[in-house]
Amino acid sequence: MTNLKQLSEKPEVLASGHRLCAGCGAPIVVRQVLSAAKTPVVVSCATGCLEVATTIYPYTSWNCSFIHNAFENSAATISGVETAYRALKKRGKIKHDMKFIAFGGDGGTYDIGLQSLSGAMERGHNILYVCYDNGAYMNTGIQRSSATPKGASTTTQPAGKVIPGKTQFPKKLTDIMAAHGIPYVAQASPHNPHDLIRKVEKALEVEGPCFMNILSVCPRGWRTKTEDGIEISKQATETCFWPLFEVEDGRKWTVNYKPSEKKPIREWIKLQGRFKHLLKPENQHIIEDIQKEVDRSWQDLLDKQEASKEK
């Protein structure tokens, strides 16, 4: 893996001066992802925070080939571009190597773009799809998505006397993508750039479709301080709400980080205003439910790792 000093000397593919919010996790994620590319890249990006704040006409922050897509079709678009590239290279009209990366938020990935994403993975395109998961439709007003954690207050499931925030657990999208049996799937967090960048490098070296799910703090939607994003990302991993792992060919599961002392989920929840109602005595049972689900999912992940060693 290229060391961080060498990476810091590379020209930025995502330039500064964009209009993403202070403390937003998305540009941190994107910069880490793109720093791992060793060849020119073509980027497709679903409509969302990342797209609207980096491509305000007539300006752009993207120092690469960039395609803005509809909310639902980032994976389909990059699939078509990758197919055209292979055809042109076969005919000798393109000589150099290129990589193809799609970005989408959780709304455009977990929900609206899931069909497009699943199709691209099943067809076997040589692409990397990156979901920057901020846990809601942040760009359009902090509406809940299927990635929103249980108990979080959103504008479409606000915490009140009747309903204490979202009542469902988030969809396990990383597991769903692993079930496609594609060459490489990984979950990462920007607080650990060594792990994240290593995984991107691995994904870009693999032939075939790859998927990465990366936690992306949203200070507006999570009701957090702008300077606390990396610490909150770290606590998501320390509590095992957001474990770091990778899956190869849908069979080999590897946990990349095991906390020396697994922290209770309350430590992560108390850092975010979207969960403040859960700290009230009458809502303690919700925190207990979340803790049970985190513990169950973490043990399930460890079991998958052990089972894959036996194959």
Tens of pLDDT, residue by residue over 222-255, are 999 999 999 999 999 999 999 999 999 999 999 9
Q: Residue 103 in 3-state DSSP?
A: strand
pLDDT bin (cut points 50, 70, 90) of residue 311 is low
The answer to whether residue 24 sits within a structural domain is yes
pLDDT over 80 (residue 208) = yes
pLDDT over 80 (residue 1) = no
pLDDT over 70 (residue 110) = yes
The answer to whether residue 301 sits within a structural domain is yes
- Please tell me the pTM assigned to this model: 0.96
Q: What is the CATH number of the domain that holds 210?
A: 3.40.50.970
The answer to whether residue 260 sits within a structural domain is yes
Count of domains for the chain: 1
In DSSP notation, 231-274 reads HHHHHHHHTTSS--EEEETTTEEEE----SSPPPTHHHHTT-GG
Tens of pLDDT, residue by residue over 269-309, are 999 999 999 999 999 999 999 999 999 999 999 999 999 98
Domain of residue 180 covers 10-309
The answer to whether residue 3 sits within a structural domain is no
The answer to whether residue 2 sits within a structural domain is no
The answer to whether residue 4 sits within a structural domain is no
The answer to whether residue 146 sits within a structural domain is yes
Greatest CA separation for the chain: 68
